[in-house]
Amino acid sequence: MNLQKLRKLVECLRLQDAENPSAIEETLRLNISLEDGYCLFNLYEQWLGAFSFLPGRKEAVLPLLSLAEKLTKFSSDDTLAMYSLSEWQQLVLLRGPVETVLFEKCTNCSHSYVSMGTSGFYDANGLVCDSCGNVYFKSYYDETPPPRCACGREFPSVTTYGCRQCGEKKSLSQGGVSPYEYFSKHTYIRGPGA
């Protein structure tokens, strides 16, 4: 792991916590890549997601800072150890269990919908309420129907990816947003086993 960049990231996060206006620009200039180490790169990616929009998720600064400080004491570049830390779990609470949030348009019926992009290790689908955009994460192995959304509407019962209007799997991407941004305006619930 590139300790020089990691220490600089710690300094930048301290500046951001102190609400220094130059902190975001200084952090962006670090230009951390995968070559700098898996842990450092993953941490930087979380920061980028949390501050890819204005005003950003300010509540992410302290867990990011604490995590960066702990990484300076790691004896090896161990992402599994990093993922087990409480600070990482705090970040997951802010962004949900997704890597990306995509806006899709069905190639068959032109219906627009939101799709939750989870990692291949997460055995659940993100069922998005068509009314308000809140999300229910349903385990692939859970056979019970999803609950009602907080807005009063029902979450879709479709547990496969694709268009909920016609079932078409092919879609055109209309872009996406950071999960940190999406879940700053929407809520999510994890169902049993998700």
Cα–Cα distance, 164 to 187 (Å, whole number): 20
Residues 11 and 63 in one domain: yes
Residues 146 and 83 in one domain: no
| Confidence at residue 158, expressed as pLDDT on a 0 to 100 scale | 62
Exposed, middle or buried, 168 (CB in 10 Å: 0-12/13-18/19+)? middle
Residues 56 and 131 in one domain: no
Contacts (Cβ under 8 Å, ≥6 apart) of 84: none
Q: Regarding predicted confidence, which is higher, 47 or 161?
A: 47
Structure tokens at 111: 């219906």
Q: Within its chain, how far is the Cα of 79 from the centroid?
A: 17
163 touches 111 (CB < 8 A): yes
Read off the pTM.
0.90
pLDDT above 90 covers what percent of the chain? Answer: 80
Structure tokens at 87: 């600070």
Residues 172 and 89 in one domain: no
Count up the domains in the chain and report the number: 2
Structure tokens at 121: 């290790």
**pLDDT tens per residue, range 5-40:** 999 999 999 999 999 999 999 999 999 999 999 999
Cα–Cα distance, 145 to 122 (Å, whole number): 19
**pLDDT tens per residue, range 68-124:** 999 999 999 999 999 999 999 999 999 999 999 999 999 999 999 999 987 767 788
Residues 73 and 136 in one domain: no
**Closest CA relative to residue 137, chosen from 151, 154, 123, 119:** 123
Strand partners, 83: none
Per DSSP, the chain holds a count of helices (H) and strands (E) of 7, 6
Residues 144 and 86 in one domain: no
Cα–Cα distance, 124 to 169 (Å, whole number): 17
Residues 62 and 140 in one domain: no
Domain finish residue from 95, 117, 134: 95
Kindly tell me the sign of the dihedral angle through the C-alpha atoms of 150, 154, 160, 164.
Answer: negative
Residues 135 and 181 in one domain: yes
| Mean pLDDT, residues 129-149 | 92
Contacts (Cβ under 8 Å, ≥6 apart) of 33: 41
User: Residue 178 sits in which domain range?
Assistant: 100-190
Residues 7 and 90 in one domain: yes
Answer whether residue 160 shows pLDDT above 70: no
